[in-house]
Structure 1
Amino acid sequence: MKEGPQDDWDPRNEAALQDQMAVYDDMRRRCPVAYSDYLNWSLFRHEDVTRVLNDHHAFSNVVSRHLSVPNGMDPPDHTEYRRIIEPYFSQQRMAAFEPACRNIAANLVNGLATREETDLMAEFAQDFALQVQSDFLGWPADLHEPLRQWIRNNHAATLSRNQTAMDDLAVEFDGYIQDLLAVRRDAAIDAPDDITASLLRAKVGDRLLDDIEIVSILRNWTVGELGTISACVGILAHYLAERPQLQQQLREQASLLPAAIDEILRIRAPLIASRRITTMQVKIGDRTLEAGQRISLIWASANRTEAVFGNPDEFRLDRAPAHNLLYGAGIHVCPGAPLARMELRIIMEELLARTSQLDLVPGKEPVKAVYPACGFSTLPLSIRCIQ
């Protein structure tokens, strides 16, 4: 029997659990195309990741045994479903949603005024992600806590590769969506005019989307949004708490926030990896991969590649935006990027405008999240609010 490749690294060893970025930086420099039993083939360099993103013929997105619309599709299917989804993130929709997003952010920041110290993740970042996503989709507030617990359980199941638990969690999430769809169907013409209801009227070709497709779309939006947005808020707040001068500069020059946010999240990634599968034999670096090989694109490393960014930890506001892979590239570039950018801009505008100081808490170290999450599990901060 033919033996498979030997492991080049262990993504779950103690060093990776303690400091993912340091391990990825090391792998990028010494073994940029690496195999592990846990992640299969991992790509760490910007040039290799970009190549895969821009070649959907050799590197397929159909990597899951579950329907994934449109993330887990290739053209021509991907093209048709993408056409349905992109209008939900149009400039007009973002402008219409901005006041509600700002109101959520302002209320959460105002709630910090009663505390001398806060765990920013549990008491702010996660609440923002849950509230803003639910409001965008038209979901009720009583779904916030079940979704919060679902995210925790899904992360644990993914980390342990517990397929039974992951399957059960997929069924649980599908049940939430099916209930939401049933409410809107029962309401008929009295159904709320929200995105969830509008998907019931969306067509692919000459037919309406079926429930499986709608559930997949909403699952992709929600799972990606909730975990990633809360991670982003924590990463941004921590970075600024460590740098009082930059924090004050962005208070005084809020127009710099969009570029600053993208740059901070390039340095400290909120999303570790995505997956592809080879459709033919390919050579990447000095490794030859046969058809059918699974690949993990390590965004967190690619966006720190020295050949593209120089010193990966240097904060600069004049980076070429096209080089930043925060939202991907190619035909699968994140369709929700306009929503994520707006949400992050607004939450940071409100956080900085309504506070005079964000500080780390002496003697209380933040707890870093572990793969597949990134950022922080807990983040103690002292926040001085403007009265």
Structure 2
Amino acid sequence: MADAPRKPDWNPRKEAVLKNQITAYDAMRAQCPVAWSDFQHWTLFRHDDVMRVLKDHQTFSSAVSSHLSVPNGMDPPDHTPYRQVIEPYFSPQAMSQFEPACRTIARNLVSSLPEGQSFDVVETFSRVFALQIQCAFMGWPDSLHEPLRKWVLKNHQATLARDGHAMADVAHEFDGYIHELLETRRQAGASAPRDVTTSLMEETVDGRTLTDKELTSLMRNWTVGELSTISSSVSSLLCYLSEHPDLKQRLANDTPALPDAIDEILRMDAPLMSNRRVTTGDVEIGGRTISAGETITILWASANRDERVFGNPDAFCPHRNREHNLLYGAGIHVCPGAPLARMELRVLLEEFLSAVDTLVPAPDALPERAAFPTGGFRYLPMIISKR
């Protein structure tokens, strides 16, 4: 006899949840911290439960997808050599070399913002910054900005809908962009640009160069992560600073405080909602029994607001909360690109705060929150005045 259908504890795709994910997750963390749903399967809302998963990659595997995912969807020992390949691309030296280009992009974008009139931060600023900065870092042409902008939106829609055919089409479209970039460099031979993409093509794992399939997977993971989370981060940061003008002024006068402030604001308002794992054996978490082979959603947006760890989750306390902040994850899969993201956001805010005097919500339009799986905003109307 087949098992009876499992009764959902909540509906992550309910309109009220998607409209304000943070409020919904705060409530679930108190009411049902380990919850089942048809969409997310098992969802973990508490910091301690999430940390347990992150520290035990043997019980909670990252090999969730049936498709190759380098290195996010790998466990040791397969994960280790790929991680060793990519970490140097985010070294202090690499960040120092890329920072001038990042600053030029940020400064030009800030200078182009309209003064004294409403503009959408997401469409005009945060999404454009993410696209330009990712292409500049990878060595990709400006002609990819618009196709990638549309691709990110299609990827988001397909993921939210859990539309397998649409997700496959989106992946195939991205594969085509990468294939063209790789072929262009191969045809150029020794004249190929000495950029991150060319360098990755020359990397080796277990004594061989990376395959096109591995390169495409790696670059897709980097691109999805960068374009979605950087854009979400920028919108959340500017919204918070508009609501806290005193903090905005303090940071303008004390830019060394920016890195901790950025991490803390994004702890409260997560740019990336979640990641997934799959159980390799039966486990018990929070009084719930989870069988082997089940998918677990670790909800960063909730764990980083857990009152048991952070007290009042909306209290701005960067130094107190730094040690437990899961903005960039933890364990063997802690985000390798964290140094790049931190540098990009710091530089962007340095340029923004040095040029912008006032930042206020537009009075004639309401902001709209982004829906799972991204955070931040999908529409954020603001008005600025410049110094």
Q: TM-score range by the shorter chain?
A: over 0.9
Whether the aligned pair in 2 keeps the contact of 1:113 and 1:385 (CA below 8 Å) is no
Residues 202-221 of structure 1, C-alpha deviations (whole Å, 9 max, x = no match):
00011111100000110000
Q: Distance in 2 between matches of 1:7 and 1:36?
A: 5
Q: Which letter does structure 2 place at the counterpart of 1:341?
A: R
Equivalent position of 2:368 in the other structure: 367
After TM superposition, the score normalised by the length of structure 2 is: 0.98
Q: 1:112·1:385 contact (CA, 8 Å) conserved in 2?
A: no
CA distance, structure 1, for counterparts of residue 21 and residue 210 of structure 2 = 40
Determine whether 1:343 maps to 2:344: yes
Residue 234 of structure 2 aligns with an amino acid whose one-letter code is V
CA contact (8 A) 1:27 1:44 kept: yes
Q: 1: CA distance between counterparts of 2:78 and 2:197?
A: 22
Structure 1 segments (4+ residues) deviating >4 Å: none
CA distance in 1 between counterparts of 2:318 and 2:157 reads: 36
Map of 1:222 onto structure 2: 223
Report the AA paired with residue 324 of structure 2.
H
Residue 4 of structure 1, CA deviation: 4.1
- Judge conservation of contact 1:201–1:208 (CA < 8 Å) in 2: yes
The answer to whether 1:264 aligns with 2:268 is: no
Alignment match, 1:71: 72
SS at structure 2 position matched to 1:370: coil
- 5+ residue gaps, structure 2, are none
Query: Does residue 1:132 correspond to 2:139, yes or no?
Result: no
1:185 aligns with 2:151: no
Does the aligned pair in 1 maintain the 2:263–2:318 contact within 8 Å? no
Unaligned runs of 5+ in 1: none
The aligned counterpart of 2:93 is 92
CA distance in 2, matches of 1:317, 1:23: 24
Q: Does residue 1:326 correspond to 2:327, yes or no?
A: yes
Q: Which amino acid aligns with 2:312?
A: N
How far off is 1:81 after superposition? 0.6
Write the deviation string for residues 259-295 of structure 1: whole angstroms up to 9, x where unpaired.
Answer: 1000000001111010000001111010011110100
Deviation string for 1:73-93 (max 9, x for gaps)? 000000111010101100000
**Counterparts of 1:146 and 1:219, CA distance in 2:** 14
Give the corresponding residue for 1:304. 305
The two structures have a TM-score, normalised by structure 1, of 0.98
CA distance in 2, matches of 1:180, 1:322: 40
Contact 2:368–2:379 at 8 Å: present in 1 too? Answer: yes
Is residue 2:107 matched to residue 1:101? no
- Give the residue type in structure 2 aligned to 1:84: V
Q: What is the distance in 2 between the residues matched to 1:140 and 1:224?
A: 19
Q: Secondary structure at the match of 1:251?
A: helix
- Output the aligned Cα RMSD: 0.9
Contact 2:357 2:385 in 1 (8 A): yes
**How far apart, in 1, do the equivalents of 2:318 and 2:283 lie?**
36
Q: Secondary structure at the match of 2:296?
A: strand
Distance 1:313 1:210 in 2: 45
What is aligned with 2:25?
24
Equivalence map 1:185-264=2 (5 Å): 185-264=186-265
Q: Can you list the C-alpha shifts for 1:364-383, whole angstroms capped at 9, x where unaligned?
A: 11111111121101110001
Q: Distance in 1 between matches of 2:160 and 2:292?
A: 26
1:321-357, Cα deviation, whole Å (9 max, x unpaired):
2200000000000000000000000111111111111
Alignment partners' CA distance in 2, 1:83 and 1:257: 29
Taking the aligned partners of 2:277 and 2:21, their CA distance within structure 1 comes to: 21
Q: 2 CA distance for matches of 1:115 and 1:205?
A: 57
Q: Greater CA deviation, 358-367 or 123-132?
A: 358-367
SS at match of 2:86: helix
CA 1:157/1:25 → structure 2, altered by over 3 Å: closer, same or farther?
same
Q: CA–CA distance in 1 between the matches of 2:245 and 2:45?
A: 32
How many Å separate the matches in 2 of 1:64 and 1:274? 12
